[in-house]
Each structure stands twice: as structure tokens, then as C-alpha cells.
Amino acid sequence: MDIHEKSRIQWACRRGMLELDVAIMPFFRYEFDGLDDTDKQVFVALLKSDDPDLFNWMMDHGEPADPELKRMVKLIQQRNRARGPVAM
């Protein structure tokens, strides 16, 4: 998936769990365009992870082995906390 194919990336952000949608969709909506190309690639790579893994990582019940994915999970968590709750 090319980092410039926003509609495909947005579709990949939609997960099978509400908790993941609440974490990932607002980050995509409000933060994705401001990321540099490297971080966009890491975000897209993160979206290829399985839902149970993403859920555990977002809920701080473990972390990705890959340091770049770990950094992206932390960035998503930080930005979402700083922004506060938003309507999906």
C-alpha cells in the first residue's frame, strides 16, 4: 500500500474492534497528513498487524518487537491523549 493512497489507508484503519477504531481512526484523521513519509510508512506497516496484537499494544498489554512499530504505537497513544476524545 503506497503511503499516498489515503483512501486505502483509511479503509485499513477500520478494524473489527471498536476500541481499535477509537484509537486508530482519529489518529489517521487528525495526524496522518502531518507525518513525514517515514512515519507514514511505519503507520501503514502497523496497520498490517493483526487486531489482537494491535489491541494489546494500544492498551499497553505488550509492545511490538519492532522498534519502529513500538515508536508508532507510543506516538498514537501520545497524540490521542493530547488531543482528547473526539467523535468518530
Per-residue confidence (pLDDT) for residue 83, from 0 to 100: 84
Residue 84 clears pLDDT 90, i.e. is over it: no
Residue 46's nearest CA partner among 20, 84, 22 is 20
What is the number of residues in the chain?
88
Mean per-residue pLDDT of the chain = 91
Q: How many CA atoms lie within 13 A of 14 on its CB side?
A: 6
Give the global pTM: 0.89
Tell me the domains of the chain and their CATH numbers.
6-83 (1.10.150.250)
pLDDT tens, residue by residue, 10-44: 999 988 888 899 999 999 999 999 999 999 999 99
